[in-house]
Structure 1
Amino acid sequence: MVLRKGSMDKVISSDPRAVAVNDIIAAGRRMDRFGWVPATAGNISCRLPDGLIAITRSGGHKGMLTPHGVIEVTAEGAPVHEGDRPSAETLLHCQVYAASPRTGAVLHGHSVASTVLSMLAGDAITLAGYEVLKVFEGQDTHDTSLRLPVFDNDQDIARLARVIAPHMPDMPLGYVIRGHGVYVWGDDMGMALARLEGLEFLLACELEKRKIRT
């Protein structure tokens, strides 16, 4: 079904798969504009009503996505259509969705701030005193601190997922893979993007603070 709305005759699809593809393409362009998905880095996904997951195809530039660049996988990460190649990190998206039935979108980016700070951090980056912390659920004041877990990078994604699993219930911000990038999620794509932008702002502030101190 297609609805036409307003004098601009804008086409809006009620097909949830089409909506998910459009959301993923728009998110990829926004993330690219901020420099968070260089080259073919990063991945973006949405949960579909039937339990499948729409996710970016492996090897594509997220700022230049087309509908062909979005594929469908099962809740376990297997491609629905023969020949489709999902990102190697699809399992990490599946893990987030499995942990919370509310989650509707997952974003993974490779910003300079998240990459550099994670290389300097221990097992977490603590963010404190920032007004923008209020973008995260349960926070209503700047006078607080939140812990962003940092996990060591591992090319064995199944093993990495097992390391992350015990921490999933208690990660209000998301998490960072050391020297790699950040994962955030939300009830829908709008919330996930707001959280990503909030977190990236906070990480950029932390990086600037360290430059000033040196």
Structure 2
Amino acid sequence: MADIQQLKHDVIEIGRWVDSRNWCPATSGNLSAKIDESRILITVSGHAKGALTEQDLMEVDAEGQPFNNEKQPSAETLLHALIYGHDPQAGYVIHTHSIFGTVFSRAIWQGEIRFKNYEMQKAFRGVTSHEQEVVVPVFANSQDMMALAKEVNAYLTQKPVCPAFILAGHGIYTWGNTVAEVRRHSEAMEFLMECEYQSCLLLK
């Protein structure tokens, strides 16, 4: 079992990191860390990620249900739980609401984004060449979290994916084993989304 105090410190520091890049404006986004196979530490709903304290974090079970009903977890807690359930290596999840993650994904809405011939692709776990094609699923945004979770679950069950997915017009989910890895994956996705957006502008 991971040290809970260390995980709290990690999530708070990740919050400051994403806030410094304006990837979670206002109180958007959510962050989590896996305590063990049955418990997840996640941010409480409605708190600015750059000013998190230990009181802004709470524990939920492997299905995303809170142990403490006095606090309200993020509405998207179930998606975090699905990620940990599908990827045994996942130790942290970052969900951002960046400008490029939001704007460029609106042009797709549903399907997949395919990255190829970017050196930055090698930032993702398991990718060793720019010539590999990296496929990231894009799901239509929905307020029906159960329906959205069912769609995400079906995709993750059937296809091996890059440690990321996108909610169109909403934001990016990335995950990793360590703090360093999840930050690397998050930063790589943000970079690639901006590259694709800028490429589309050049082609006009």
| TM-score grouping bracket, smaller chain normalisation | over 0.9
- TM score, norm. by length of structure 2: 0.93
**What SS is found at the alignment partner of 2:36?**
coil
Which residue does the alignment assign to 2:138?
A: 150
Aligned equivalents of 1:21, 1:111: Cα separation in 2: 23
Which residue does the alignment assign to 2:122?
A: 134
The alpha-carbon deviation at position 189 of structure 1 amounts to 2.2
1:174 aligns with 2:161: no
Aligned equivalents of 1:207, 1:80: Cα separation in 2: 41
Aligned equivalents of 2:120, 2:102: Cα separation in 1: 20
1:159 is aligned with what amino acid? A
1:94 aligns with 2:81: yes
Say what the alpha-carbon RMSD is for the aligned residues.
1.5
Aligned equivalents of 2:196, 2:89: Cα separation in 1: 30
Aligned equivalents of 2:4, 2:127: Cα separation in 1: 33
Which residue does the alignment assign to 1:18?
A: 5
| 1:34-84 residue CA offsets vs partner (Å, 9 max, x unmatched) | 111011110000000363100000000011111111111111111112301
Query: Could you list the runs of 5+ residues in structure 1 that have no partner in the other structure?
Result: 1-14
Matched residues, percent identical?
Answer: 36
Which residue does the alignment assign to 2:175?
A: 185
- Which moves more between the two structures, 74-83 or 54-63? 74-83
Contact in 2 for aligned 1:123/1:150 (Cα 8 Å)? yes
Which residue does the alignment assign to 1:201?
A: 191
1:186 is aligned with what amino acid? G
Aligned equivalents of 2:72, 2:203: Cα separation in 1: 45
Contact in 1 for aligned 2:26/2:48 (Cα 8 Å)? yes
Contact in 2 for aligned 1:104/1:188 (Cα 8 Å)? yes
Equivalent residue in structure 2 for 1:85, among 72, 80, 89: 72
Aligned equivalents of 1:89, 1:43: Cα separation in 2: 8
Runs of 4+ in 1 over 3 A off after TM superposition: none
1:211 is aligned with what amino acid? L
Contact in 2 for aligned 1:146/1:173 (Cα 8 Å)? no
Contact in 2 for aligned 1:108/1:182 (Cα 8 Å)? yes
2:16 is aligned with what amino acid? R
The alpha-carbon deviation at position 165 of structure 1 amounts to 1.1
Aligned equivalents of 1:30, 1:81: Cα separation in 2: 27
Which residue does the alignment assign to 1:58?
A: 45
Report which of the two structures shows the higher radius of gyration computed on alpha carbons.
1
Which residue does the alignment assign to 2:35?
A: 48
1:76 aligns with 2:56: no
- TM score, norm. by length of structure 1: 0.89
**What SS is found at the alignment partner of 1:171?**
coil
The alpha-carbon deviation at position 93 of structure 1 amounts to 0.2
| 1:148-205 residue CA offsets vs partner (Å, 9 max, x unmatched) | 1110011011110101112114221411001000111111222111100011111111
